[in-house]
Amino acid sequence: MSPEVTKSTQKKIKEIIARYPKKQAAILPVIHLIQREKGFISDEEEKLVAELLGIKPVKVREVVTFYSMLSQKPLGKYHIQVCSNLTCSIMGAERLIDYLSKKLGIKPGETSDDGKFTLTTVECLGACEQAPNMMVNTDYYGHLDKEKIDKILKELDE
């Protein structure tokens, strides 16, 4: 994969860097943009970010490995993140994680062979009033049960 980014992303990156008195501060927003475009942050993207911000690649790696939303390997087209924290758990999340796992044929932390799904368990998503919760890419889904999960997955398939 080439580390080039689109013109519009380049422009956006410039704007973002200008907000901060130190370039390095732009690292999370810049990585978010690049990860959205490339899907993950490999060595090449790491170098690109380092170059853009005028820092050493190791500084980028330190950040990428610290934050759970940043990924060093490709994720599925649909990244399913199920909350396994307290409220969601007592409202049935653990059974749903097993259910999803069986249905997709992958364990939490894995990506399906066709590259379609990644399943992850995460800590509280900040939506406990509608527990149990999960996210599919950037969207929240609450009040989950097996039927609702079936419906969501079916819609993704279409």
Partner 1 sequence: MNKVPEKVLTKDFDVEHLYKIGVYMKKGGYKTLTKVLKKLKPEDVLKEVKAAHLRGRGGAGFPAGVKWGFVPKDVDKPKYLCVNADEGEPGTFKDRYIMSHNPHMLLEGIVITCFCVGIHTAFIYIRGEYENIAQRLELAISEAEDKGFIGKNILKTGFDLNVFVHRGAGAYICGEETALLESLEGKRGNPRLKPPFPASIGLFQSPTVINNVETLSNIPHIMEKGAEWFVKQGIPKDGGTRIFGVSGKVKKPGIYELPVGTSLKELIYTHAGGMKSGKKLKAVIPGGMSSPILKPDEIDIPMDCESLAKADSMLGSGAVIVLDEDVPIIDVLRKITQFYSHESCGQCTPCRIGNSWINKIVTRIYKGKGKKGDLDNIEKLASNMLGRTLCPLGDAAAMPILAVVKKFRKELKAEIKG
- Secondary structure (3-state) at 125: coil
Task: Point out which residues bind partner 1 (CB under 8 A).
Answer: 19, 21-22, 24-29, 31-32, 53, 55, 59, 62-63, 66-70, 84-87, 89-91, 122-131, 135, 138-139
From the list 10-18, 32-40, 100-108, 120-128, the region that binds ligand FES by CB under 6 A is 120-128
* Interaction partner, residue 134 (partner 1, ligand FES, none; CB < 5-8 Å by kind): none
Q: Which is nearer to partner 1, 73 or 150 (CB)?
A: 73
Residue 6, burial from CB neighbour count under 10 angstroms (0-12, 13-18, 19+): exposed
* Interaction partner, residue 91 (ligand FES, partner 1, none; CB < 5-8 Å by kind): partner 1
Residue 78: both structure tokens together? 């649909």
Write out the DSSP string of 36-85: HHHSS--HHHHHHHHHHHTS-HHHHHHHHHH-TT--SS---SEEEEEE-S
Residue 3: both structure tokens together? 């580390």
From the list 9-17, 65-73, 83-91, 113-121, the region that binds ligand FES by CB under 6 A is 83-91
Q: Which positions touch ligand FES (CB under 6 A)?
A: 83, 85-88, 124-125, 127-128, 131, 133
